[in-house]
Amino acid sequence: MQFCLLHSQGIQPRINLNEKSLVVDSVSVILKSKYVFPDVAEKMGDLVKSNFHKRIYDKLEDPQEFAQVLTEDLRSIGKDKHLRVMYAPDFIKMSKQKKDSANTELDEFQGRMDRFNNYGFKEIKILPGNIGYLKFNEFNPAQEAFSVAIGAMGFLANADALIIDLRNNGGGSPEMIQLISSYFFEGEPKHLNSFYHREKDQVDQFWTLPFVPGRKLANIDIYVLTSNRTFSGAEEFSYNLKNMKRAIIVGETTGGGAHPVDMVVIDDNFAMNVPYARAINPITKTNWEGTGVEPDVKVSQDKALETAQMVALKKMAGKEKNEKLKDRYVWAYEGFSAMVKPIQINKSVLKSYAGSYGPRKIIFKDEYLYYQRENGASMKMIPISEDYFMFDEIDYFRVKFQKLGNQVTGIEGHYDNGTIDSNPKTE
């Protein structure tokens, strides 16, 4: 369950001994009745009760600090990053108003926050080489979020490969995981994941949907970017696709949280996130709790996107049978490689290129070359090799210098459709 904490302004609150006792006893009872592993729940509850009776919490007067210390103590045994005690009086008040009456303040606030954050969807674009890129930071459970997801998948429907960026995704709704995953498979529904619920003593299964709006992306390569901040539902998405051999995971090992949680209110000030179920992958028969999802290509998270692009472009160029399309992928790969790994060219070589080539002019200025055609704007030249250059401003055009021995004789204009035109050096 996701929610926002609101912070009141004013006098710094303090917690007294009676409320500490109530919170500690409640935490113990809630864990023993709900936590996914009963034996671990028993140990965690006994620890905080013992700490309370040993007066370890006596000096804690700040309720935020008290909640944090309780959380750390519980996690010292459970190692469960989903488990959390929270000081959240404003949220609890709105929750009770919603439950006791027709008050919709909490729903309205959460709805505004969801729209403010575009339901977690941050960036959608087409990268060089017709690689789709989708970045979203949560699997939002709101009904409106599904329309955003469907729109995003529609935008990406013509991509030849897809990069999904989950480096800042903290998880969320299994139903949203189910929807997005369903775009990547054809045929009969595929079993994605299951959850065993301790209290209900039942297993809930999640399968790909038999129908999704728009075109599926079932036959393209998928790359999922991860970091140590990738958590919970984002880990499930990565884990599912990795074990189904439907995606290549690129980046860092994820956070290691596999247990879905429920929020339980303790009193007017405190609540608790309680992991109540465990994931069971149909292929591995286990999950990523405590271990995280290991990437297929291990790189630091800041290198994950460029690494995935390089791998995708190289793979597409290698398997493409149509020579004209293959040239497009090679074009994109060369240009992207030049940006990722810039080369240095001797100043004397650069100066030798300066001059006029019919309507084209090459200018050496401030250690760089600039290209200008007739009275057009000048553009800085980015080297792909010693005699081959690209531009930031336009990605469909490049120039290559012609040489006879060490003498520069002309210039060629190369276009991404395979066309080449040339001009001799005139001065």
Is 190 within the bounds of a domain?
yes
User: Residue 154 has what pLDDT?
Assistant: 98
Is 367 within the bounds of a domain?
yes
Q: What residues of the chain score a pLDDT lower than 70? A: 1-10, 98-103
Do 302 and 367 have their domain in common?
no
Is 391 within the bounds of a domain?
yes
Show the beta-strand stretches assigned E in 56-105. 84-87
Q: Which of these three, 273, 292, 315, is where a domain ends?
A: 315
Is 85 within the bounds of a domain?
no
Do 262 and 361 have their domain in common?
no
Q: Which of these three, 315, 334, 357, is where a domain ends?
A: 315
Burial of 63 (0-12, 13-18, 19+ CB in 10 A): buried
Residue 210, both tokens: 């038999």
User: Residue 91 has what pLDDT?
Assistant: 87
- Asked whether 161 and 167 are in contact (CB, 8 A), the reply is no
Question: Please, where are the H alpha helices in 117-253?
Answer: 143-155, 174-182, 233-243
Do 136 and 243 have their domain in common?
yes
Cα–Cα distance measured from residue 287 to residue 280, given in angstroms and rounded to the nearest whole number: 6
Do 271 and 170 have their domain in common?
yes
- Asked whether 277 and 92 are in contact (CB, 8 A), the reply is no
Q: In what order do the strands lie in the sheet with 277-280?
A: 202-207, 191-197, 277-280
- Give the domain range for residue 300: 117-315
Pairing assessment for the beta strands 407-415 and 397-404 based on DSSP bridges? antiparallel
CA distances 285 to 38, 195, 278, 293, Å, are 20, 11, 11, 15
Cα–Cα distance measured from residue 238 to residue 222, given in angstroms and rounded to the nearest whole number: 11
Do 270 and 363 have their domain in common?
no
Residue 289, both tokens: 């709790």
Digit-coded pLDDT (tens) for 359-395: 999 999 999 999 999 989 999 999 999 999 999 999 9
Do 289 and 356 have their domain in common?
no
Do 357 and 265 have their domain in common?
no
- Asked whether 276 and 260 are in contact (CB, 8 A), the reply is yes
Cα–Cα distance measured from residue 250 to residue 294, given in angstroms and rounded to the nearest whole number: 9
Digit-coded pLDDT (tens) for 399-427: 999 999 889 999 999 999 999 999 999 97
User: Residue 96 has what pLDDT?
Assistant: 77
Do 408 and 305 have their domain in common?
no
pTM of the model: 0.91
User: Residue 3 has what pLDDT?
Assistant: 42
Helices 89-100 and 105-116, packing angle to 10 deg: 120
